[in-house]
Amino acid sequence: MRQLSSLQEQVATWDKLTQDTADALELLQLAGDAEDDDVLAEIATETRRLTKLYQRLEFQLALGGPYDRSGAILSIHAGAGGTEAQDWTQMLLRLYLRWTERHNYQAEITDQLAGEEAGIKTVTVEVDGPWAYGHLKAERGVHRLVRISPFDSSARRHTSFALVEVLPILDDDIEIDIKPDDVKMDVYRAGGAGGQHMQKNATAVRLTHSPSGIVVTCQNERSQLQNRESAMRVLRGKLYDIELQKIEEEQSRLKGKHVEAGWGNQIRSYVLQPYQMVKDLRTDVETGNTTAVLDGEIDQFIEAWLKQQVGTNNHQAAP
């Protein structure tokens, strides 16, 4: 019902935009015939409002994935470049932590491995907040840094790489709802040593779960009811394990194949020497304000990539 309500709200918003646009066009035609300056000014104001609303709705289309509303698991791994790459990984961690602060997200470092001399070899951050994954999925890939290395006594220019991985936080609080009609129960006599220990009553239980085909048996308890309860616990555990496997498979699918953090795989270049520029190679969005980008101002890159995913290429290079 929540999903239905959300979809109905989206459709109603687009319908209203369509109607408002039609009304504005009709008013424009009437104003053109009358040459009324006041009406033309009103139409100009309405046009700006409708354009802004359209752009906002258009961007929302880019956040329509099944997990876009979820939190995100962000991992950064140092690539080619040794200590320089590990320092670059730490710089990227700061960048993303500053970005989460700007968006009022909660970020928690859950795993971190420090470099031998400086920086970080690998780090994992859980980002909690609405649409966190929807935005951060744009950051997946190899990030390339070019600068004068602070670790080079000869002050030479170095190129280093880091790999950013982003996964949604999938709900593992799985509720297993077993419908009574889906479970067939067979009872039989439990096996024993024979003689006076042989079971005279049918207390052993076999449960068959029709949707999954799982069969569970239990005969260790003294009563049929106890055996059935034990068998149901086992069945519930097996179904829970299947759901966990589905989550793991889905995360593997979303992660995609492994990409080496090195030459030829970068999605974005951060050049600090001999000039200053950050350029996203997927969208061609670029800016010379490298300080702001390294301080977490990356929304222009995220929004351009997301718009590109729904066939929109009307981004502009930053001044």
Q: Per-residue pLDDT for 294 more than 90?
A: yes
Integer CA distances (angstroms), 269 to 20, 116, 237, in order? 43, 25, 48
Tokens 């936080």 found at: 169
- Say how many C-beta atoms besides its own lie within 10 A of residue 163's C-beta: 24
Report the amino acid identity of residue 179.
K
Spatial CB neighbours of 299, under 8 Å, sequence gap ≥ 6: none
Report the amino acid identity of residue 214.
I
pLDDT in tens, 251-260: 777 777 666 6
Q: What is this structure's pTM? A: 0.67
> What is the reported pLDDT for 42?
83
Would you place residue 316 in the very low, low, confident or very high pLDDT band (cuts 50, 70, 90)? very low
Selection from 206, 213, 214, 211 nearest residue 235 by Cα: 214
> Among 11-25, 92-106, 176-190, which range has the highest average pLDDT?
92-106
The token pair at 33 is 């015939």
Per the model's pLDDT, the better-predicted residue between 34 and 247 turns out to be 247
Q: Per-residue pLDDT for 174 more than 70?
A: no
> What DSSP string describes the chain?
-HHHHHHHHHHHHHHHHHHHHHHHHHHHHHHHHHT-HHHHHHHHHHHHHHHHHHHHHHHHHTT-STTTTS-EEEEEEE-TTTHHHHHHHHHHHHHHHHHHHHTT-EEEEEEEEE-SSSSEEEEEEEEESTTHHHHHGGG-EEEEEEEE-TT-TT--EEEEEEEEEEEE-----------GGGEEEEEEPPP-SSGGGS--S--EEEEEETTTTEEEEE--SSSHHHHHHHHHHHHHHHHHHHHHHHHHHHHHHHH-S---SSTT-EEEEEE-SSS-EEEETTT--EES-HHHHHTT--HHHHHHHHHHHTT--------
pLDDT in tens, 77-119: 999 778 999 999 999 999 999 999 999 999 999 889 888 888 9
Would you place residue 280 in the very low, low, confident or very high pLDDT band (cuts 50, 70, 90)? very high
Would you place residue 35 in the very low, low, confident or very high pLDDT band (cuts 50, 70, 90)? low
225-228, long-range: CB < 8 A, 24+ apart = 227/203, 228/185
